Amino acid sequence: MVSLAVEHLTVTYPECSAPVLHDVSFTLNEGEFAVICGATGCGKTTLLHMLKRELTPLCTQTGTVYFRGTPLPELDARTAAGEIGFVMQHPEQQIVTDKVWHELAFGLENLGTPQEIMHRRIAEIASYFGMEDWLSRDPSTLSGGQKQILNLASVMIMQPRLLLLDEPTAQLDPIAAADFFTTLRRLNRDFSVTILLAEHRLEEVIPQADRLLILDSGTVTHSDAPERVLRQIAPDAPVMAGMPAAVRLYHAARAEGECPLSVNAARNRLMPQFARDTAELPPRPVPEKTEPAVRMKEVFFRYERHGRDVLSDLSMTVYCGELFCLVGGNGAGKSTVLSVLAGLHRAYTGKTEIFGKRIQDYKYRTLHQQCVTLLPQDVQTVFLKNTVAEELAEISKHYREELHDFPFPLEPLLPQHPYDLSGGQQQIAALAKVMLTHPRLLLLDEPTKGLDAVSKQQLADVLHGLQQNGVTVLLVTHDIEFAACHADRCGFLSRGTLISADQPERFFSENAFYTTAASRISRGFYRNAVTVAQVAELCRKNGRAKEAAL
């Protein structure tokens, strides 16, 4: 049976000359697990909102969306609310109550579910998701991964037939994200829930998906099984840059046979073609150490007088001109490190120095005057005006001239309200705003969330350009591949303490979980290769060596 059918859907926002979605058509069968991907701002979020009647934006629409054969506007309120579930990108935006069990009950109460059935369903869903110990907790005390699981459980307790998810792992660490995807697949298999997931994080989901949809400039260009779609797309197409490492390595190494989708398939089918003898990537030259831009020594910080220490005996040094990536689990204290360095919070003991000067010695806003700038994780907090143009003009009236080398297209964003932008577009607008402050130390909290692979590379180009101009960049990220490709050094934060810091090749090659897919694919075949480009280079060299030997 067809679960979802979209026929010739075109959507245009008010005061926009071009549609954001144009003639979109596709179908999903009952129980399919489908992934939709595409460039930042291509219309993924708009498409998902058009499939959930309560979230349909103000727009001009042509075409029809059918749910189980009924046009969306004709569904009764109970069916529309309960049988089509939606999980948002930002966990906090979907939580509306002060207790976990209240959150689980909220949807059922609005559907008029009898008390006895409601209590039974809460107990059942809490057991299924392993949430019994959370039931009395305030959702604000949960980690990012736990909040997103709570959102998923709050939707699934209403037993939907169709589940829509908009980049649900954007703010999750790698382990929490993998667990979330595993839970989705289990729900799909156990209950035959039809799933449509919009995602930039494709490493885990492509191998599990039944269907892959490619959205390009507001139009669905491909809709088929992942293996067939990837055979139809040119290896140099922009969308391929975001595909799993196994797919990119297959094309980069010019391998033969069927294209693998997963780490396991790549290890079994791809690497034996090249890895005859163990090879090693030459070590990266060790740069000369410059003066410290950031020095934290034995720093302790807590948010509440009698609460736990969020930063505990933290000692860390970031050198001038360095791009330093800080990784670690949700709740490890990474964002808190940035807030302390930005002067938003003050450690209760320990020493914090910025460019050799104690942070408390920066008086009268001098810390923020062309010295330190923070781009927070929730970029909406930096927006105060009605348009992106007004946001940029607030910092500099000559923003067009100052951002002439900015690689992202700003012109389409300028007349729009910042809150009307997609998550990735908001990141771009916020980055442009902080660039206008001309910082010496740039602090970035999850700057790659919501960005496609091409946009991430453009972001990296911006950051490397800043480095060349002497700017120091401290970046908190869950994007392990971005850190491996672009960081000078990476540090691992756990329970408020810096456990280790090293160059990416040494840092990631020994990790089992906080590492790249390329490292997992090549481990045991090649040493110290942690990016697709590095593994592909060794594959090509080793392949030529094998041919010469034959």
Report whether CATH 3.40.50.300 matches the domain 2-233.
yes
Average pLDDT for 9-15: 91
Same fold, 2-233 and 293-502: yes
Write a three-state SS string for 26-75.
Answer: EEEECCCEEEEEECCCCCHHHHHHHCCHHHCCCCEEEEEEEECCEEHHHC
- Give tens-digit pLDDT for 119-158: 999 999 999 988 898 999 999 888 777 888 999 999 999 9
The rounded Cα 530 to chain-centroid distance in angstroms is: 20
Strands 472-476 and 441-445: parallel
Average pLDDT for 430-434: 93
Q: Which two tokens stand for residue 205?
A: 């989901």
Residue type, 366: T
Which strand (E) or helix (H) includes residue 152? Answer: helix 144-156
Q: Which two tokens stand for residue 251?
A: 């094309």
pLDDT of residue 276 exceeding 70: no
Q: What is the mean pLDDT of the chain?
A: 91
In this structure, are residues 349 and 296 in contact, taking their beta carbons and an 8 Å threshold?
no
pLDDT of residue 281 exceeding 80: no
pLDDT > 70 in the chain, percent: 98
pLDDT of residue 536 exceeding 70: yes
Domain 293-502, CATH: 3.40.50.300
Q: Which pLDDT belongs to residue 92?
A: 83
- Give tens-digit pLDDT for 493-503: 999 999 999 99
pLDDT of residue 463 exceeding 50: yes
Residue 171 phi/psi, 5-degree rounding, is -110, 20
pLDDT > 90 in the chain, percent: 70
Q: Which two tokens stand for residue 112?
A: 């008029």
- Give tens-digit pLDDT for 354-381: 999 999 999 888 998 889 999 998 888 8
Domain boundaries defined on the chain:
2-233, 251-283+518-549, 293-502
Average pLDDT for 213-222: 93
pLDDT of residue 213 exceeding 90: yes
- Give tens-digit pLDDT for 166-188: 999 888 888 888 888 999 999 99
Instruction: Measure the CA–CA gap between 246 and 249, rounded to whole angstroms.
Output: 5
Residue 325 phi/psi, 5-degree rounding, is -105, 130
Q: Which pLDDT belongs to residue 222?
A: 94
Q: Which pLDDT belongs to residue 547?
A: 47
Tell me if the pTM is above 0.85.
Answer: yes
Average pLDDT for 32-46: 92
Q: Which pLDDT belongs to residue 545?
A: 44
